[in-house]
Structure 1
């Protein structure tokens, strides 16, 4: 897996590069110190995933993530940051980041989460997940029983085809209902929908 590390702290970049290079399935293509240079890097090379800091000079991680996902949607972005406040988490997810992990995490955990993200899982650090506010009960109560069933299956990681089979619906109907659910809950995608489900079902 080809990685790009973006952080204005050179020691952080260097340490991550050294540690991640020891993993047999990782190749660190390069390191850059801001989002603008990350975009320039992507114009020349094609990383599979970017580990992106948030606060950087010239162009911050959230703005650069938004542009990278617009231009190269196939590139995965993992926010790797010290910030776990709700505002930054939501801004990062809305910008298109597929994962959000804290720098304080052990390198073994970061490596595992990189692999999980590459495999198609949503990756949110446990502390980050706890930070996200619980959605209002009023909005959640807008869902029908069938819509709630679909949210549960999405949170379990099922595809539209698998959901269609379980609920005896067409794939087209699943897509339409999913669009209605996203609109009702005012969330952007399946990742945020899964977060809603997890938060609602916490004791």
Structure 2
């Protein structure tokens, strides 16, 4: 079985290659550092399974997954990422990923999971399954769902740049949306926003 690893973290790639290299029926045919490279390798190599990160330069993992599944529907894709938020999980599954594992999870059984994925099973990390089966959070009063996402990330201490990366937005867009949110709620700064968010969570 041919496996393609797509991740811009060299340590992750080396670890996976070492682990999977011990399996007689699995072959890591290539490592790609972004979604664009992954698509080019699919054209030339036709892997059976792809282990795909989400946040990468050039083309991210979700967009790459969508394009690959459109062109090569038989290729099975498992997201392997640090993102466990509902938005990324649902976007990845909607794009066509048949698996979603967190990098924090044990990867000792990665080979078995890859075989199960190739056989047609859906592989979801326990924390991921919990995230998508819990009721979706309602938007904060007066805010859109996306604005609520931004407030939640602000309350968790994320910077504008980190929020932009999480939500696949530009930093400028996050800055503009933050200004709109502050105006809507009549707050001065992000500290007041964070306090407001946690007070609402306790209600």
TM (normalized to structure 2)?
0.64
Structure 1: unaligned runs, 5 residues or longer = 137-203
Cα separation, 2, equivalents of 1:106 and 1:124: 13
Cα separation, 2, equivalents of 1:58 and 1:90: 22
1:46-125 equivalence runs, <5 A: 46-125=46-125
Give the structure with higher Rg (CA).
2
Match status 1:26 vs 2:34? no
Aligned residue in 2 for 1:45: 45
1:134-145 equivalence runs, <5 A: 134=134
Cα separation, 1, equivalents of 2:29 and 2:51: 12
Cα separation, 2, equivalents of 1:82 and 1:109: 18
Aligned residue in 2 for 1:191: none
Runs of 4+ aligned structure 1 residues displaced above 6 Å come to none
TM (normalized to structure 1)?
0.64
1:87-117 alpha-carbon deviations (Å, 9 max, x no partner): 0000000000000011122222222211111
- SS of residue matched to 1:88: helix
Cα separation, 1, equivalents of 2:30 and 2:36: 14
Cα separation, 1, equivalents of 2:17 and 2:4: 9
Aligned residue in 1 for 2:187: none
Cα separation, 2, equivalents of 1:22 and 1:60: 29
